[in-house]
Amino acid sequence: MAQSSITIKKPFDSHVHLRRGAVLRAVTPVTAEKFWGAIVMPNTDPIVATIEQAVENKKEILAALPADTTFKPLMTLYLTKDLTASVIEKIAVDKEKLIYGVKYYPWGYSINSQWGPRDASDASPVLHAMEETGLPLLLHSEVHLNAENHEEDPYDGEKLFLKDTLPRLMDKYPRLKISLEHMSSKLGADFMEKNGKEGKLVATITPHHLVYDRTDAFRTGYRALLNCKPLIKRTEDKNAIRELVKKGLPFISAGTDSAPHPESRKFSSCCVYGAFNAPVALELYTQVFDELGCLDKLEGFLSVNGPRFFGLKPAEETITLVKEDWQVTEPVVTEEGIKIWSVCDKTHGLGNEVIHWKIA
């Protein structure tokens, strides 16, 4: 008999963008409604590169929450050229536990990604300190520029990273805790199934890479809401990561990579990268696991594996979802009246999209 409802421990988002200012104030409550906590990305404007900046950003996030919300924003630092080993050591002895990871962005590849080293392994003192203290390195695992500073094919960025950059990084820093963020390819799925290890090498997967493929992204013209990094890839890539989550491996978890942008920046000739999915992410994950016939694996993926990697216990609070059709028909709107459109939007998505699960 088909399952019509499911109750799980409240989920955890291992990778989310909340931005700053009015956008932050608009989108933060959406994530907080569905997730008990989240690893917050540091490529904001301005970026979060110091402990002091992380404190400021966390205060801004907490101020945006409704009074009765217990949502926990878990902060990260941007791996810049100025980050030092002494900062990592200071984080390790912080009794308040503010910083949960350091994020590496390939230079010039994504939004506000121009501040880091060209190669993650170049940050030797910092990475050795992270080995010693157990602070995870969160990797945007793509290559943008080759040795001659020529741009690589953007659809090959993850493949190039996994074939060269990551093996070198793992050889040089064998005790480093690593998370491959928003893994999106068949090669990535194969690599993680072979090399993934609980507490050591893990990966996050977005809902949009589980739901869509490249034919969707270009259906009836380019679909702006699906313009993201890593790019949405071929059907075989989507199917490979769907098969990976079906296995219920303890080192694979949900990271929405929800990335909001004002409509003026998304619906423009220079459409910015970022798929805003916070209004539908939990429901899409549930839909995919239902389609795959593995709803019994959903709680581990959504609620257990992510927190465990960061040394946290799963939530005691639960959330119930029911199998019921609905549609996204309205944007999230900032206090200034700026609209932020979610993937699956009935009008701006692929066209009359229907989601089959919703929160009870």
pLDDT digits (tens, 9 = 90+) for 297-339: 999 999 999 999 999 999 999 999 999 999 999 999 999 999 9
Give me the pLDDT at residue 176, please. Answer: 98
Tell me which of 50-64, 102-116, 177-191, 319-333 is least confident.
102-116
For every residue of 303-339, DSSP letters joined together read IIHHHHHTT-PPPSSEEEEEEEEE-B-S-EE-TT--E
What tokens does 134 get? 């157990």
If one counts the domains in the chain, the total is: 1
Res 108 pLDDT > 70: no
Give me the pLDDT at residue 114, please. Answer: 64
Residue among 237, 257, 290, 345 flagged as catalytic: 257
Give the Cα separation of 108 and 148 in Å (integer). 15
Give the full edge-to-edge strand order of the sheet including 178-180: 12-16, 37-40, 72-78, 99-104, 137-139, 178-180, 201-205, 252-254
Cβ-count burial of 298 within 10 angstroms (0-12 exposed, 13-18 middle, 19+ buried)? Answer: buried
Res 79 pLDDT > 80: yes
Res 19 pLDDT > 60: yes
Give the Cα separation of 228 and 211 in Å (integer). 14
- Three-state secondary structure call for residue 166: helix
Res 112 pLDDT > 70: no
Residue with tokens 């490979």: 240
Nearest Cα residue to 212 out of 183, 237, 249, 178: 237
Active site residue 257: yes
Domain range enclosing 350: 5-359
Give me the pLDDT at residue 290, please. Answer: 98
Higher pLDDT, 235 or 107: 235
CB atoms under 10 Å from CB of 89, counted, come to 14
Give the Cα separation of 266 and 350 in Å (integer). 15
Instruction: Report the CATH number at residue 62.
Output: 3.20.20.140
What is the rounded average pLDDT for all residues in the chain? 94
pLDDT tens-place string over residues 237-290: 999 999 999 999 999 999 999 999 999 999 988 889 999 999 999 999 999 999
Cis peptide before 230 (omega within 30 of 0): yes
pLDDT tens-place string over residues 150-202: 788 889 999 999 999 999 999 999 999 999 999 999 999 999 999 999 999 99
Give me the pLDDT at residue 221, please. Answer: 67
Give the Cα-Cα-Cα angle 219, 225, 231 (nearest 5 degrees).
75
Query: Per-residue confidence at 220, pLDDT binned at 50, 70, 90?
Result: low
Give me the pLDDT at residue 121, please. Answer: 79
